[in-house]
Homo-oligomer: A and B are copies of this chain.
Amino acid sequence: MKNITIAGGGLVGSLLAYVLAKKGYQVHVYERRPDMRKEVIDGGRSINLVISHRGWTSLEKAGIAEEIKEIIVPAFGRMTHDVNGDQHFYPYSIHGKSISSVSRGELNKKLMNLAEAMPNVKFTFNQKCVDVDVETGTAWFEDYNTKQTTEVKADLLVGSDGAYSAVRGKMTSLPRFNYSQQYIDHGYKEIHIPPAADGSAQLDLKALHIWPRKQFMLMGLANLDNGFTGTLFFPYEGEESFSTIETAEQAEAFFQRNFPDAMPLIPNLTEQYMSNPTSPLLIVRCSPWNHKSKVMLIGDASHAIVPFYGEGMNAGFEDVKIFTDILEELGDENMHEVLDQYSAAREKNANAIADLSLRNFIEMRDLVADPQFILRKKIEAKIYKKYPEKWMPLYSQVKFTNIPYFDAWTEGQRQDKIMEPIMALPNIAQIWDSDEVENMILKSL
């Protein structure tokens, strides 16, 4: 294997290009969009993401974690906002660990710069993937400006071209290729929360902010400039939904009713509501993630998930790590075997984080404000602190370890079963800290 084509120069494609270039391969990245380092794309939206432990693990393996640390803002817990404006802080970790908020655009630019600085990596922009021959690893890219189509043949074609992947699109018609795309009932709309006039932050910078309202929620994640990216997650249809909030007046009344403490932070709220796009939330699953030795999928192209665990990019970065682990172990003489093993290793974990992310939506928009749920977290934290080798809360497993998602999810379901009878005790709020409850849990472990 010498030449590798990467379709898609997003976060995962750029990281993979860098990693494979360090191994000596000739890598050519074809990106659909213009070069984001030269042109403002996505209308300048300030989408941000979270890097968790497994994301860092992959960046460390690539040797570039330190450079990324320069552009992150840590979040140490959730700050919930109730309708009265009261705030409550719930730390993510009993050990003071944090997740790292980062601007998607800034991170992508940094990864592109790192990759493009390698002599054996080339990026070409404005290239739409219009066809793929999966048997030969050949892709055809049409230049958006010149309308010229280029045929690109390589030893390996990587589809890191996102949730609407063109490479995967071609694989969908392969015999016995399993595929599903599932849109959830909610969409999202970004609402930017600027810094105060003096440049200071209007919300606690150390927290991820949530306004949980059961069927919907507003979320705020810090940016480097002391502003926050707010996101409204809201049903498309129903009594309170995008379909019933259509005018500026309705939007204002809706925010006044549900997020009164957020309103003064956002001077142009209704303008933003009316002009910012509403975007759908999509889950993609497929199998296998490769075609023989010639084509592989990675990142959102093979496993787009909903954003509620903040793990989409981390799962993609972990793909890069696991793929290169297997490549190092087996060598590149038998790429069919490498890709088969990669696909088998990742699929069940991708399915697990897809399920976990849906579960976390309900947790964030509803349960975080539920006294029973808060109590359960408290009990789990106590057990975790006293018996760390026997119990680690699901959130910690997902965000602060490299435990495979599938194993974390399995353990999380086991914990659910153990905690169910505990939480059903009639006087649990009074006795939660008792030896009796502790012994009940220990016995069922």
Chain B contacts of A254 at CB under 8 A? none
Distance in angstroms from A209 CB to nearest chain B CB is 28
Specify the chain B residue showing the minimal Cβ separation from A164.
Answer: B173
Say whether A200 faces chain B, with CB atoms less than 8 Å apart: no
Total chain A interface residues with beta-carbon distance under 8 A: 14
Q: CA separation between A177 and B182, bound complex, in Å?
A: 8
Task: Indicate if the CB atoms of A177 and B172 lie closer than 8 Å.
Answer: no
Residue interface mask A364-394, B partner, CB < 8 A = 1: 0000000000000000000000000000000
Residue interface mask A166-198, B partner, CB < 8 A = 1: 000000110111111111000000000000000
Specify the chain B residue showing the minimal Cβ separation from A281.
Answer: B176
Say whether A432 faces chain B, with CB atoms less than 8 Å apart: no
Q: How many copies does the complex hold?
A: 2
Q: CA separation between A182 and B178, bound complex, in Å?
A: 5
Say whether A77 faces chain B, with CB atoms less than 8 Å apart: no
Q: CA separation between A177 and B164, bound complex, in Å?
A: 12
Distance in angstroms from A420 CB to nearest chain B CB is 21
Chain B contacts of A173 at CB under 8 A? 164
Q: CA separation between A142 and B123, bound complex, in Å?
A: 37
Distance in angstroms from A143 CB to nearest chain B CB is 22
Say whether A308 faces chain B, with CB atoms less than 8 Å apart: no
Say whether A260 faces chain B, with CB atoms less than 8 Å apart: no
Specify the chain B residue showing the minimal Cβ separation from A175.
Answer: B280
Chain B contacts of A164 at CB under 8 A? 173
Chain B contacts of A280 at CB under 8 A? 175-176
Distance in angstroms from A350 CB to nearest chain B CB is 15
Say whether A125 faces chain B, with CB atoms less than 8 Å apart: no
Q: CA separation between A180 and B177, bound complex, in Å?
A: 11
Q: Which residue of the partner chain, among B172, B175, B181, B236, contacts A178 with CB atoms under 8 Å?
A: B181
Chain B contacts of A236 at CB under 8 A? 176
Distance in angstroms from A255 CB to nearest chain B CB is 25
Distance in angstroms from A263 CB to nearest chain B CB is 30
Specify the chain B residue showing the minimal Cβ separation from A236.
Answer: B176
Within A278-318, the residues touching B (CB, 8 Å) are: 280
Distance in angstroms from A314 CB to nearest chain B CB is 25
Q: Which residue of the partner chain, among B176, B181, B182, B183, contacts A183 with CB atoms under 8 Å?
A: B176
Specify the chain B residue showing the minimal Cβ separation from A183.
Answer: B176
Chain B contacts of A182 at CB under 8 A? 178, 180
Task: Indicate if the CB atoms of A181 and B172 lie closer than 8 Å.
Answer: yes
Distance in angstroms from A330 CB to nearest chain B CB is 21
Chain B contacts of A177 at CB under 8 A? 181, 183
Q: CA separation between A176 and B183, bound complex, in Å?
A: 5
Q: CA separation between A145 and B236, bound complex, in Å?
A: 46
Q: CA separation between A301 and B174, bound complex, in Å?
A: 17
Chain B contacts of A172 at CB under 8 A? 181
Q: CA separation between A175 and B187, bound complex, in Å?
A: 11
Specify the chain B residue showing the minimal Cβ separation from A282.
Answer: B176
Q: CA separation between A181 and B286, bound complex, in Å?
A: 9
Distance in angstroms from A301 CB to nearest chain B CB is 15
Q: Can you offer 17 A-B residue contacts whose CB atoms are under 8 A? A: A164-B173, A172-B181, A175-B280, A176-B183, A176-B236, A176-B280, A177-B181, A177-B183, A178-B181, A178-B182, A178-B183, A179-B179, A179-B180, A179-B181, A180-B180, A180-B181, A180-B182
Q: A177-B183, A178-B181 are in contact. List 11 more A-B contacts (CB 8 A).
A: A164-B173, A172-B181, A175-B280, A176-B183, A176-B236, A176-B280, A178-B183, A179-B179, A179-B180, A179-B181, A180-B181
Give residues in A with beta carbon < 8 Å to B.
Answer: 164, 172-173, 175-183, 236, 280
